[in-house]
Structure 1
């Protein structure tokens, strides 16, 4: 072999080694980061590798979610049964990792933006950390587990249901679930659940946790319930004592082909579980599917609020490709072809075989709303610089956009969690071609004040024309393969207490927050007068991003131009 060829072979081997060993991890506890497209930031997570870690060995993965006012470092300690020392603050306890017994698990604890819960941006962070672990290590696909305490216990319930076929089992501890959990609790059919609760918990009351356990049992979930008499909110000390949570997860494996799949969702964001996929639904309306093998090549399906679905049966032990598949949908039997993917659509109220293909303009995964979804992906806040009265007005517009980009969370005045999301805030003239192609945009103003809105005007459905300062209009809409939110008039978080100074249910529904956090609970569009609790019109665009006739009439009668 010539020297030139020898050198080439050496460089090729070296580059291959570097490519496959680009990331070095040490055994034991450590902190790593991943890159978030949402705001171009490095987000931390705590990671544990066994002391005798072997990169060629296949490991189970345990995901641990921390509670409010906590962090990833403390969460990693908690799941190994390590509480604070007497008199030790959380800040002090976060500074070090103590020694603990070795377990044959890879354990990860996402930071997930601190105290934002686990819906939306933090939810995406958790999934990214799981994906990164599956990329970096040999993870057993059927042995991924989820646990968490307090806010993280609620996140365990929600994410366990929202990603029903991702986890083999979940273990929520003193769980405080978000509202989004309760609509999809039925998704737990094939997920073993171990719930832990303090009997004297003043923060997460045991009565509420017992109701959650009873509801899960009533819908057929395999549930264990552990209540610790006299224990307050720190029931995680009991739940994770002596690393016993790992013993509970041991031996539980995810079944990728359960005989029965029951799945509910409101959004295309999470359309599938196991071998069932919902292809067409009405975003914002809870769609349900219950599919069960009743024999070899015989499936009975019940549906609610959906118009198309698919069954991916490749590898299912009860499906024989050499014979026809008998599918009974809502009482009607359909003999389908002997293939792996069987798709069905509802036409004029009747089910038939066929694949639903979403039109280009239709709602679909990633392009469906509601407004808060715009900021759960890569996004930019944009203020206008057109037709201003001077520098002072430009600064006022900029401050409004900066306030919108503040994701801080306030909890009843007791404490405030600083913003853990830091998107860009730029002027309309700074929006680049890359921004238009790869980012969702939150646009402030009208076509007269914001040049980006003006450039999009012919493709946007609504424009606030009414003069005066008493109206606020906000809506989301697809543009160039991304989503935009347009906020005209009063900012969407504008809140004025009622005449008695009280907050209303609607304010609580909007998160009781300023800035982007106020988008939580809002739908695709809202028009309000003086205060966002005084709603004139609100709702969800249909599947083709159209408005009902009665909504158009209400909008136009209140000074909004509607383009059909």
Structure 2
């Protein structure tokens, strides 16, 4: 992920032999204006996919009719050719295909089309597909991840069959190549995750990551990577790489022999059972202690290697007690590039997290978790004064600053969003907007799953923070109207914010876009108050699983999942009282440390008086609301929803997750399950710089994989791990039938996503991607659950026809209650 020009050069050198320079550039294609629509929600439209899954997609031929729209327009395939740079460049369409408004006739659609490519192979053989500019591709009917940001490093192993091979590429401005490798297994060095070598540090056991490409028909389970650098060698055992896949793997290197600043060669050799398979040479930078640098770490999300960048304090601090600045970058920006935009400060250290990728997850979902992981590591490594922690960011990072500031208001003394947009409902970025409304009750339920992203609804959480807003008044990328919007929001209640419009400033005005000196002057004036001094709380959350606590109060459970919850409280230490009101709160916890042992505390909550006598100096009290009355309660058990495990479906993609595909169905069902697991792993790698272990159901052992998130592909008839994981779930899926509570649907075209607590774990979950037959399974192929802030509830059941008709084909969507049961108050039913 570092220094793209050097990495690309290393890749071309290191893989020249592996690829043997045999490349097929696609030159001719057919184009269709199909109006496919994917985005930040579970509902999607794709007429071509619907026809493909129904076996009703005719042979694409120039001039042939693809479809006739509801308005009577005839859509025809048209021939196109690549330019001299092998690019298919077409005008961008904006069409409204059937179902695309998704229950809201006022919604603007951003649909796109498909490019049809073919390749005639003289024999069955493996190849590596490299397409840039697309959001997805069907290769001989099998879905694969695209490369929408033209990164270039998506090397997808595919099996060519003898004769005609067909590609339906989603996207209208692409380039596409087939690479015929000279080796079955090779290293790709164009997407590295690297640390810096810091002179004077212990550099004997550093970690990096590289991609292994496996175009063979077997799982590689005995791989080793040997590195040699500055005369020092070290070996690393690698995890399995399934057949016809890629996997980014961690390895160690010993840089203790490097003593001079600059770029240094590291030789990387891949072995299988002591047999040399491939070699590559990569460049790793050695820097001075005062330079900006990168640090790698193993993420708790998936066990993959990630990194953050540091702008060190200068002069270096001799002791702890200085400030820490967390900077969150904009779309397409590397963390190291972000850190280099700042001059070192003499009163604190700046760290830049990655969001998992330069675009990643818009600092939401796993980008949010990445920021929290880096914040925790930075606190541990740099030991700042806990009252002097600050947050800032630019563009997409400006949104990240608004979002992380509203979500975790007690973590920061002050925040400074620069050229940022507040919410993805107003500025959608590459994956589109989060819709703000719908006429469909089912889709309204889905959109609730994105409530945590609407920071305007959480704006009162900024009350305790200093807020510095900076925006160029000539910004055409993120218009200044977003800054003015937030200035107006804050003006209604906030007493400590600063607003500056840079005259004539565009989106990027040089390093001052982030390293604006007045921001850091403003930060100096602010510190985080200690909990004992905070006697007034006004805190809102949409999901306790994301953000449950502020200071000495926590929302442990909601009455209605993912609607907004709010607590407004006042504490008097002298009078020994807590008074306040709650909204959409079922279980609440108060810390009573300020009152001491043996104190009688009068709690007036929603006009009800509760008396409690503390049993220790560190006592807490938990209250539960039932029938509009508060009563004493205990912390929720692992069998109940709680801040550690609260749903939604996306929550299962955590805790070093594994993908489990089914092998007990028929040939087509088993192939779908494996291919879907590979497709999701490709997408996770591309969007999240991640790596996932993929195993067959027959190899799943709950004791071996204890406390790890599980993503199960298939149903009770096709995946033997179902009964080990989902026997007690109120949602049961088998061939031709879905049952959810007291409701049953039949047919082979039904799909579902849902989450369920992992048995014998207090925090991990099972995520299920399922269908009742091949049609239903294929309808579950779309994985926009990896799009940042996309809305997926606890469960959703729908038919294949949703791809054509929209949310009217949703059968059931909603949330489990706090006991993981299906109740009428938390669901929306379709037809």
TM-score band, normalised by shorter chain: 0.7 to 0.9
Correspondence for 2:542 = 266
Greater RCO (Cα-Cα under 8 Å, separation 6 or more)? 2
Q: Is it true that 1:543 corresponds to 2:788 in the alignment?
A: no
Do the aligned partners of 1:407 and 1:418 also contact (CA within 8 Å) in 2? yes
Correspondence for 1:248 = 522
Mapping of residues 137-156 of structure 1, within 5 Å: 137-156=382-401
Mapping of residues 402-421 of structure 1, within 5 Å: 402-407=678-683, 420-421=689-690
Alpha carbons of structure 1 residues 101 and 446: separation in structure 2 relative to 1, 3 Å: closer
Q: Cα distance, 1:239 vs. partner?
A: 4.7
Could you give the per-residue CA deviations for residues 93-120 of structure 1, whole angstroms, max 9, x where no partner exists?
xxxxxxx454221110011212121111
2:644 alignment partner, SS class: coil
**Quick one: distance in 2 between partners of 1:554 and 1:329?**
35
Higher share in helix: 1
Do the aligned partners of 1:191 and 1:221 also contact (CA within 8 Å) in 2? no
Match of 1:356 among 634, 647, 659: 634
Q: Is it true that 1:77 corresponds to 2:340 in the alignment?
A: yes
- Report the more deviating stretch, 546-555 or 449-458: 546-555
Could you give the per-residue CA deviations for residues 79-135 of structure 1, whole angstroms, max 9, x where no partner exists?
x2xxxxxxxxxxxxxxxxxxx454221110011212121111111111111111222
Alpha carbons of structure 1 residues 379 and 194: separation in structure 2 relative to 1, 3 Å: same
Do the aligned partners of 1:189 and 1:261 also contact (CA within 8 Å) in 2? no
Correspondence for 1:11 = none
Correspondence for 1:470 = 749
Q: Is it true that 1:488 corresponds to 2:770 in the alignment?
A: yes
**Quick one: distance in 1 between partners of 2:497 and 2:789?**
35
Correspondence for 1:502 = none
Mapping of residues 125-144 of structure 1, within 5 Å: 125-144=370-389
Match of 2:329 among 59, 66, 74: 66
Do the aligned partners of 1:39 and 1:424 also contact (CA within 8 Å) in 2? no
Correspondence for 2:466 = 192
Do the aligned partners of 1:196 and 1:235 also contact (CA within 8 Å) in 2? no
Could you give the per-residue CA deviations for residues 294-317 of structure 1, whole angstroms, max 9, x where no partner exists?
673333211111123222242x5x
Could you give the per-residue CA deviations for residues 15-73 of structure 1, whole angstroms, max 9, x where no partner exists?
xxx99x99999344211011113222111110122233245332210000000011101
Do the aligned partners of 1:478 and 1:484 also contact (CA within 8 Å) in 2? yes
Alpha carbons of structure 1 residues 76 and 544: separation in structure 2 relative to 1, 3 Å: same
Q: Cα distance, 1:362 vs. partner?
A: 1.1
**Quick one: distance in 2 between partners of 1:348 and 1:515?**
36
Match of 1:447 among 708, 716, 729: 716
Q: Cα distance, 1:320 vs. partner?
A: 7.0
Alpha carbons of structure 1 residues 550 and 224: separation in structure 2 relative to 1, 3 Å: closer
**Quick one: distance in 2 between partners of 1:102 and 1:461?**
56
Q: Cα distance, 1:479 vs. partner?
A: 2.2
TM-score w.r.t. the length of structure 2 is 0.55
**Quick one: distance in 1 between partners of 2:510 and 2:592?**
40
1:183 alignment partner, SS class: coil
Could you give the per-residue CA deviations for residues 347-402 of structure 1, whole angstroms, max 9, x where no partner exists?
432234x243314421112322110111144212221011323xx76444311122
TM-score w.r.t. the length of structure 1 is 0.79
Do the aligned partners of 1:55 and 1:138 also contact (CA within 8 Å) in 2? no
Do the aligned partners of 2:364 and 2:788 also contact (CA within 8 Å) in 1? no
Q: Is it true that 1:227 corresponds to 2:509 in the alignment?
A: no
Higher share in strand: 2
Q: Is it true that 1:276 corresponds to 2:553 in the alignment?
A: yes
**Quick one: distance in 2 between partners of 1:188 and 1:60?**
20
Q: Cα distance, 1:261 vs. partner?
A: 1.0
- Report the more deviating stretch, 281-290 or 429-438: 429-438
Mapping of residues 31-46 of structure 1, within 5 Å: 31-46=294-309
**Quick one: distance in 2 between partners of 1:519 and 1:295?**
40
Could you give the per-residue CA deviations for residues 4-24 of structure 1, whole angstroms, max 9, x where no partner exists?
xxxxxxxxxxxxxx99x9999
**Quick one: distance in 2 between partners of 1:547 and 1:298?**
38
Q: Is it true that 1:345 corresponds to 2:620 in the alignment?
A: no
Alpha carbons of structure 1 residues 361 and 535: separation in structure 2 relative to 1, 3 Å: same
Alpha carbons of structure 1 residues 235 and 545: separation in structure 2 relative to 1, 3 Å: farther
Q: Cα distance, 1:215 vs. partner?
A: 1.2
How many pairs were matched up? 490
**Quick one: distance in 2 between partners of 1:285 and 1:356?**
23
| Bigger Rg, structure 1 or 2 | 2
Gaps of 5+ in 2: 1-200, 207-255, 257-287, 425-452, 738-745
Alpha carbons of structure 1 residues 356 and 138: separation in structure 2 relative to 1, 3 Å: same
Do the aligned partners of 2:590 and 2:621 also contact (CA within 8 Å) in 1? yes
**Quick one: distance in 1 between partners of 2:785 and 2:727?**
28
Correspondence for 1:105 = 348
Alpha carbons of structure 1 residues 149 and 241: separation in structure 2 relative to 1, 3 Å: closer
1:401 alignment partner, SS class: helix
Correspondence for 1:500 = none
Could you give the per-residue CA deviations for residues 428-451 of structure 1, whole angstroms, max 9, x where no partner exists?
123244564121111111111111
What is the root-mean-square deviation of aligned Cα atoms in Å?
Answer: 3.2
Alpha carbons of structure 1 residues 101 and 41: separation in structure 2 relative to 1, 3 Å: closer
Match of 1:208 among 462, 466, 482: 482
Could you give the per-residue CA deviations for residues 318-347 of structure 1, whole angstroms, max 9, x where no partner exists?
x57676433322223444325653443334
Alpha carbons of structure 1 residues 491 and 365: separation in structure 2 relative to 1, 3 Å: farther
**Quick one: distance in 1 between partners of 2:811 and 2:727?**
25
Correspondence for 1:122 = 367
1:136 alignment partner, SS class: helix
Alpha carbons of structure 1 residues 289 and 518: separation in structure 2 relative to 1, 3 Å: closer
**Quick one: distance in 2 between partners of 1:150 and 1:553?**
36
Correspondence for 2:241 = none
Q: Is it true that 1:461 corresponds to 2:730 in the alignment?
A: yes
1:141 alignment partner, SS class: coil
1:327 alignment partner, SS class: strand
Could you give the per-residue CA deviations for residues 467-516 of structure 1, whole angstroms, max 9, x where no partner exists?
644211221111222211222215789489xxxxxxxxxxxxxxx96464
Alpha carbons of structure 1 residues 59 and 349: separation in structure 2 relative to 1, 3 Å: same
Gaps of 5+ in 1: 1-17, 81-99, 410-416, 497-511, 559-564
- Report the more deviating stretch, 37-46 or 141-150: 37-46
Match of 2:588 among 296, 304, 309: 309
1:306 alignment partner, SS class: coil
Mapping of residues 495-510 of structure 1, within 5 Å: none
